[in-house]
Structure 1
Amino acid sequence: MNTLQHSIVHRLPQSYRWSAGFAGSKVEPIPQSTPNGENCLVALRLLSPEEGNAWPVMERLSQALTDIELYSSVLECEGEPCLFVKSQDEFAATCRLKNFGVAIAETFSSQNSA
């Protein structure tokens, strides 16, 4: 049985980039006023971790992406393990994770109608 089936991830709203000299091991937020370039990263955070199991789950998600030759990195961000992928790989990454039964939480805003 696929152990990832009950996992839910969501994309953090902030964009990131590799910190200078720390590519693959440390990220920093990109200021919103800065245009996103090809080095832009998106972060996926687990919403459904069982106590203490977030890191191993995120590592399995990263391995699922590595299996299709998508580079990703699991790093701590805002006190939680996050999966970082290049912004241009985001759709392929989320599609791969969905194929493993991972739910992707979408952000939306409600608009009040008069």
Structure 2
Amino acid sequence: MNTLQLSIIHRLPQSYRWLAGFTGSKVEPIPQPASGCEGCLVGLKLLSPSDENAWPVMYSLSQALTDIAVDSSVLECEGEPCLFVNSQDECTATCRLKNFGVAIAESFSATNPF
């Protein structure tokens, strides 16, 4: 069975940038970026599986993006593997991952209609 089809990811709430001198290997959160922030990164965190199988799954997700020429990096963030892509590539990346059967968890706010 394809483990990617059992994967659920979600977007980390903050934006990131490469830590100075560590492009491709370390990120840091940034304050509210302006829209169209050049060089901003989006972090995607795996919700399942969340054990030692998470790293190989994240590397497989990264490879799926590499296959369509979308740059990505798998790095530890908040103690877990996360996939980082340029903010301009977010839509392309999530579309590609959905095509591989990966579920994308979306944030929503419940409002009372009454």
TM range (shorter): over 0.9
With normalisation by structure 1, the TM-score equals 0.94
Q: CA RMSD in A?
A: 1.2
Secondary structure at the aligned position of 2:82 is classed as strand
Name the CA distance, whole Å, in 2 between partners of 1:8 and 1:82: 12
Name the CA distance, whole Å, in 2 between partners of 1:50 and 1:39: 29
Secondary structure at the aligned position of 2:6 is classed as coil
Letter in 2 for 1:84: F
- Which blocks of at least 5 consecutive residues in structure 2 are unaligned? none
2:88 aligned with 1:88: yes
Identity %, equivalent residues: 76
With normalisation by structure 2, the TM-score equals 0.94
CA deviation vs aligned residue, 1:32-89 (integer Å, no higher than 9, x gap): 2x42521000000000115210111000000000000000000011111000000010
> Which structure shows the bigger proportion of residues in strand conformation?
2
User: Which aligned segments of 4 or more residues in structure 1 are displaced greater than 2 angstroms?
Assistant: none
Name the CA distance, whole Å, in 1 between partners of 2:108 and 2:98: 19
- Which blocks of at least 5 consecutive residues in structure 1 are unaligned? none
